[in-house]
Amino acid sequence: MKYAGLRLSKIEAEKLEEKKMGNINVSSNFHLGEFKKEDLVKDVRKQIYSFEFTYLVEYENIAKISFKGAVYVEVDSSEDKDLLKNLEKPGYKLSDNDLRKFILDIVLARTHVECLHLEEKLGLPFHIQSPRVSFGKE
C-alpha cells in the first residue's frame, strides 16, 4: 500500500457559543465511508482506491470542526493480494485494521495543522497538547 493523495471536499468550523469557565471536553470521531476503485493508473499491477472519510473534533456543545474528503491509496497486486481480493468483493465492508490505521494516519497528518489553525481562529483550546520544554537538573 502506498499513499497516492487526499482530496478534501468540505472543511467546516463552527463556534456555537462562547467558552464556558473551566474544563472543556474535546472528543474526536473518525468515520470511513464508501470506497471504490479509481481508473487513474494504466499499470494493471497497481490499482488506486479512494476511501471516503469524515473526521470530526467536537468541543462539547461549544464548537465543532469537521473535515470530509477521500484518501487515495495505491494497492500493488504483487504485494497485497489478499487485500485486493477483499476490496473487489461486492458489498465488502472494510475490516482490514492495517489499512484502516494507514488511512487514519494519513487523514490526521494532513488535517492536523489546519485543525490547529481553525482552533486558534475560533479561540478554542487545541485538541492536542502542544510540545513543552523542560530542563533536567544536573
Joined grid coordinates for residue 16? 456555537
Joined grid coordinates for residue 10? 468540505
> 467546516: which residue's cell?
12
| Residue pLDDT, tens place only, 19-37 | 666 788 889 999 998 888 8
| Residue pLDDT, tens place only, 122-134 | 988 888 877 788 8
Q: What is the CATH number of the domain that holds 78?
A: 3.10.420
Task: Tell me if the pTM is above 0.85.
Answer: no
Range of the domain at 35: 2-122
Q: What is the C-alpha separation between 73 and 6, in angstroms, rounded?
A: 9
Query: What's the domain count of the chain?
Result: 1
